[in-house]
Amino acid sequence: MTNASANATGALLEKGVLDAGLEDRAAREELSKLFEKNFMDLAAEADDIRRRLHPNDIVTYIVDRNINYTNVCWVACSFCAFYRTKRQAQRGDGYVLSTEQVLQKIQETVDLGGTGILMQGGLHPDIGMEYTTDLFRAIRKEYPEIQVHALSPAEIWHLVDKSGLSLEDTLKELKKAGLMSIPGGGAEILTDETRGRIAPAKNSTNAWLEVMETWHNLGMKSTATMMFGIDESYEERVEHLLHIRALQAKTGGFTAFIDWTFQPDNTTYFKKYPDFQKATSLDYLKTTAVSRIILDNVANIQASWVTQPMKTASIALHAGCNDMGSIMIEENVVKEAGAEHSTTEEELRGVIERSGFRPAKRTTLYDRVLEPGISAEDI
């Protein structure tokens, strides 16, 4: 790490910019200037933070599966190529997985050495608590060892509306049925300006944060995410990161942060703006480095090889990331939007090793490591 980069981070901390609060516009503007810095300097700062938090040169990953239980959704986000309307579903373009189909997918995951599932779906007008809790109970009964990491905040608010329960009671019922942790999906950009522009029917910034805080207050964990590169400003990215940082300082409930670039193919956003240019790999790397700098209270930052070439993801390991996410046995959402990157466990381990790190297979919550000679404390 260069003296210049060390001094830059130290100056931010000394001036209290990182903890100035979301209402301090001057602090947000100063943090936004990080994006103007030379990437090598940014990467050095981010790498220094990563090495402080993870000094053993270990990069983790997980074997799990994304299960999308339905593609029917009434919200119609402009950035989503996955959803189908109820009318399209009636013409045969939509689906809802049965309990048996989900259990079969989990069995295939277990057979491949998987330890968890990430399960999300559209906001189906006819799906409520009964389908969801029955499904979770069936999973817990048949596969008690599998981590059920499921339901974005938007899906949870959908269940609140369908059930008539309070948010807290809805979460308690889901937890009782078998929900074990919550993914950070649906965050996109946590500013109401951009959310209103790209997904006006979706829940607000505060609604997303409220789900996470309520879940954390029940003693449970979640991840946080950011989808960027959809014509938002750098200051909005910073605002998003400061929301995550502030809630983490309050609850300590986020296990990891994952950022990725908007994939425009087949989306209504791209149809509306056909000259739209997708964010570059350099933009991804700089945003990831800035995320590591601002989110120094979130232990783990995942590299997004799903939306980036694997080479870019390997560079991200030297720009703040300590985790390569999942080999993703199945992924449907970004695939519909044109992202075709895929990998195997062998390839992912090879990328980690060639990048100068030791690979370690982990569980969803980073609480167990399935690697000889490496413990959770080591990572």
Say if residue 81's pLDDT is above 90.
Answer: no
Say if residue 9's pLDDT is above 70.
Answer: no
- Residue-level pLDDT at 338: 40
Q: Please state, for a pLDDT cut of 90, what percent of the chain lies above it.
A: 78
- Residue-level pLDDT at 333: 44
Confidence of residue 341 (pLDDT cuts 50, 70, 90): low
Residues 196-247: pLDDT tens digits? 999 998 999 999 999 999 999 999 999 999 999 999 999 999 999 999 999 9
Confidence of residue 15 (pLDDT cuts 50, 70, 90): low
Greater confidence (11 vs 191) lies with: 191
- Residue-level pLDDT at 27: 82
Confidence of residue 82 (pLDDT cuts 50, 70, 90): confident
Give the Cα separation of 320 and 46 in Å (integer).
Answer: 4
What is the value of pTM for the model shown?
0.92
For 191-215, letters b (16+ CB in 10 Å) and e give beebbeebbeebbebebbbbbbbbb
Say if residue 5's pLDDT is above 70.
Answer: no
| Residue 187, token pair as written in the block | 């965050």
Say if residue 92's pLDDT is above 90.
Answer: no
Domain over 38-378 is classified CATH 3.20.20.70: yes
Greater confidence (336 vs 115) lies with: 115
- Residue-level pLDDT at 110: 93
Q: Between the CA of residue 350 and those of 25, 59, 117, 176, 317, what are the distances in Å?
A: 44, 11, 24, 40, 13
Confidence of residue 101 (pLDDT cuts 50, 70, 90): very high
- Residue-level pLDDT at 84: 84
Are the beta carbons of 241 and 205 closer than 8 angstroms? no
Say if residue 6's pLDDT is above 60.
Answer: no
